[in-house]
Amino acid sequence: MQYDVIIIGAGHNGLTTAAYLAKGGRKVLMLERNDTVGGCAVTEEVDAELAPGCRVSTASYIASMLRPTIIKDLRLGSYGLKMVACDPGVQAAFDDNDVVGWWSNEAKMRAELSRVAPQDVDSFFTTEAELKRLAAYLQPFFLEAPPDLNAKGLAKLTQAWRLYKRFGGIKSKEISGLLRFLTGSLGEFLDQRFASDKLKRLILSNSLYGKHGGPYQPGTAMGLLFHLLSGGDADQQAWQGHVIGGMGAITQAMRGACEDLGVTIRTGATVKQINVVKGTATGVTLVDGDVLDAKLVVSNADPKRTFLGLVNASDLDADFRRDVSNIRMDGPAGKVNYVLSEEPNVSGMPADRSKAQRSLFTLIPTLQEAEDNYNASKRGDLPDRLWVDCVVASNVDDTLAPAGRHMMTCFVQYLPYKLRDTSWDEQREALGDRVTSLIGQFAPNVPGAVIARRVITPPDLETQFGITEGNIFHGDISLDQMFFMRPVPEWSQYQTPICGLYLCGAGTHPGGGVTGAPGYNAAHAILRNSP
């Protein structure tokens, strides 16, 4: 065989897996159906005709939990990766022309809270300290496989010892707190802790990105902990950053690392089928008919696309296929990307905010409105009050557009994957109009400044990036679909029921986001299992 490993999909997790396998001495071939690597972490022109040279992070758009270990091990900085911290990390614009930031500097944050939530200042910092302690218990699990419920003998004892080391010093109060955050609702937690509506909405704005469930749904408090996991070069808790060159700069740096390690990358190569002989993966067949053999196959595609689309039904147990088909997906989010002739002039933006500090603003509903929005989306309706997170990336990175042009990317939720009584083909531009109109209520100059825009609906995410039902996390982030339950119980160790076939994407532990952790963990599992 010409290759030891074939990896399907050159998203950031596939690239991470490839790099570590190549470092481990494996000969790796990567196959990517698109013309460029990166998956959802790409930087592209919004409209080459109307606005040539104006680029933006098309899908994923802010770096937060990219693992520092991966940045260091793959020397991504030497391949051009540069990130600039967002500070404030979150900034909410309100209907009364007030703008509130969430600052990393305690003195700045105290001053902000003293202005908008004076009765909540002490409670905020007490809560933040508690959350950081609890998040620290979860942090080590990101770069290791979840507990293996099928382990036996010495392996089972090793698992128990690992868990004891992680949680041996945890206090009983912290155990109850951790369980509360993993299972409780964000809305109830915020209502119990804080009085200020603006503070509760500011916290909400950074806690439920891309997740199913309104803030009063069980399990939504978990987002508070994930927000406080570390990331970036400095391994800083709650770190968020702009990537110079857009999110595609991450995956281009990874591509450079992979190629220097000897990985062969083929773009424009769509896999039709994973070939299986007597229960063992032997390679892949491309849509053009080419058959490529390898000792191992690793899929960076989501579990549904892998097992229900690329593997013949006869090669899998019916119960396993049913478990995979039951993974909750139907992505609740979309994007609208803009080229503007002016920087958004957000009403109430403090005059002392620098250009970089003006780069973020979230148009966040109240907790109850967010709950109602989610319920509307479940019925297939567009919510009355959209939740829109705006990033004016060109305020930080002038490489994205020529002078006189400004790039804004907007994340929108909650959106139904399937619309009731209509289709996204009919409503795509109507969504863009609604997002533009809403932004105009807070930044009145924006509607008249639009030179070009690109609307990306949940089905567009599926079509353009190959993620089933447009779910950016390859499966909902909820307690029953995480840790040793991801992607399905009994198959959480990156291996699959087919010998020689592995998963490395966000559908495995620890889940979605541009972290590289699933790819890192998958590569190390492969190297352990296939010396």
> Domain check: are 300 and 372 in the same one?
no
**Exposure string over 386-401, b if 16+ CB within 10 A, otherwise e:** bbbbbbbbbbbbeebb
Give the Cα separation of 474 and 454 in Å (integer): 23
Give the Cα separation of 316 and 325 in Å (integer): 13
> Domain check: are 203 and 269 in the same one?
no
What is the C-alpha radius of gyration for the chain, rounded to an integer number of angstroms? 23
Domain stop point among 424, 452, 470: 470
Q: Identify the pLDDT of residue 359.
A: 98
SS3 percent helix, strand, coil of the chain, rounded to 5, is 40, 20, 40
DSSP secondary structure string for all residues of 430-473: HHHHHHHHHHHHHSTTSGGGEEEEEEE-HHHHHHHH--GGG-TT
Cis peptide bond upstream of 518, omega within 30: no
- Would residue 177 count as lying in a domain? yes
> Domain check: are 293 and 335 in the same one?
no
Cis peptide bond upstream of 416, omega within 30: no
**Exposure string over 294-319, b if 16+ CB within 10 A, otherwise e:** bbbbbbbbbbbbbbbebbeeebbeee
> Domain check: are 169 and 194 in the same one?
yes
Please state, for a pLDDT cut of 70, what percent of the chain lies above it. 99
> Domain check: are 340 and 461 in the same one?
yes
Give the Cα separation of 7 and 299 in Å (integer): 6
Q: Identify the pLDDT of residue 77.
A: 96
Give the Cα separation of 385 and 394 in Å (integer): 27
DSSP secondary structure string for all residues of 15-36: HHHHHHHHHTT--EEEEESSSS
Handedness of CA 73, 74, 79, 82 (dihedral sign): negative
Torsion angle, alpha carbons of 478, 480, 483, 488, to 10: -120
Structure tokens at 176: 């109850």
Q: Identify the pLDDT of residue 64.
A: 86
Whole-prediction pTM: 0.95
- How far CA 12 is from CA of 32, 144, 245, 260, 506, in Å, comes to 12, 18, 16, 16, 10
> Domain check: are 445 and 336 in the same one?
yes
* In contact, 290 and 272? CB cutoff 8 Å: no
DSSP secondary structure string for all residues of 333-350: EEEEEEEESS----TT--
Give the Cα separation of 467 and 74 in Å (integer): 26
> Domain check: are 337 and 464 in the same one?
yes
Cα 366 from chain centre: 23
Structure tokens at 328: 């909750």
- Would residue 93 count as lying in a domain? no
**Strand, coil or helix: 475:** coil
| Start-end of H helices in 243-364 | 248-260, 303-305, 318-325
Work out the angle between the directed axes of helices 186-193 and 367-378 (0-180°, nearest 10): 170
Cis peptide bond upstream of 417, omega within 30: no
Non-local (6+) Cβ contacts of 81 within 8 A are 71, 243, 249, 250, 253
Per-residue tens of pLDDT for the chain, all 531 residues? 689 999 999 999 999 999 999 999 999 999 999 999 999 999 999 999 999 999 999 999 999 889 999 999 999 999 999 999 999 999 999 999 999 999 999 999 999 999 999 999 999 999 999 888 888 888 888 888 888 877 778 777 777 777 766 776 777 777 787 788 788 899 999 999 999 999 999 999 988 888 888 999 998 888 887 777 777 776 777 788 999 999 999 999 999 999 999 999 999 999 999 999 999 999 999 999 999 999 999 999 999 999 999 999 999 999 999 999 999 998 899 999 999 999 999 999 999 999 999 999 999 999 999 999 999 999 999 998 899 999 999 999 999 999 999 999 999 999 999 999 999 999 999 999 999 999 999 999 999 999 999 999 999 999 999 999 999 999 998 888 888 899 998 899 999 999 999 999 999 999 989 999 999 999 999 999 987
Q: Is 118 exposed, middle or buried (0-12, 13-18, 19+ CB in 10 A)?
A: exposed
* In contact, 370 and 204? CB cutoff 8 Å: yes
> Domain check: are 263 and 229 in the same one?
no
Q: What is the pLDDT of residues 236-282, one digit of tens each?
A: 777 889 999 999 999 999 999 999 999 999 999 999 999 999 999 99
Give the Cα separation of 194 and 237 in Å (integer): 22
Give the Cα separation of 245 and 57 in Å (integer): 8
> Domain check: are 402 and 440 in the same one?
yes
Domain stop point among 175, 209, 233: 233
- Would residue 54 count as lying in a domain? no
- Would residue 98 count as lying in a domain? no
Give the Cα separation of 492 and 507 in Å (integer): 10
- Would residue 238 count as lying in a domain? no
Q: Identify the pLDDT of residue 229.
A: 73
Q: Identify the pLDDT of residue 379.
A: 95
- Would residue 32 count as lying in a domain? yes
Q: Identify the pLDDT of residue 142.
A: 85
> Domain check: are 318 and 280 in the same one?
yes
Half-sphere exposure of 33 (CA within 13 A, CB side): 20
> Domain check: are 351 and 450 in the same one?
yes
Count of domains observed in the chain: 3
Domain stop point among 166, 201, 233: 233
- Would residue 436 count as lying in a domain? yes
Q: What is the CATH number of the domain that holds 495?
A: 3.50.50.60
> Domain check: are 425 and 499 in the same one?
no
Q: Identify the pLDDT of residue 159.
A: 72
Give the Cα separation of 128 and 120 in Å (integer): 12
**Exposure string over 421-439, b if 16+ CB within 10 A, otherwise e:** eeebeebbeebbebbbebb
> Whole domain around residue 186: which residue ranges?
121-233
Structure tokens at 72: 């260091």
Q: Identify the pLDDT of residue 164.
A: 66
Structure tokens at 124: 């905020």
Non-local (6+) Cβ contacts of 132 within 8 A are 228, 237, 238
Give the Cα separation of 412 and 335 in Å (integer): 6
Q: What is the pLDDT of residues 284-317, one digit of tens each?
A: 999 999 999 999 999 999 999 999 999 999 999 9
- Would residue 267 count as lying in a domain? yes
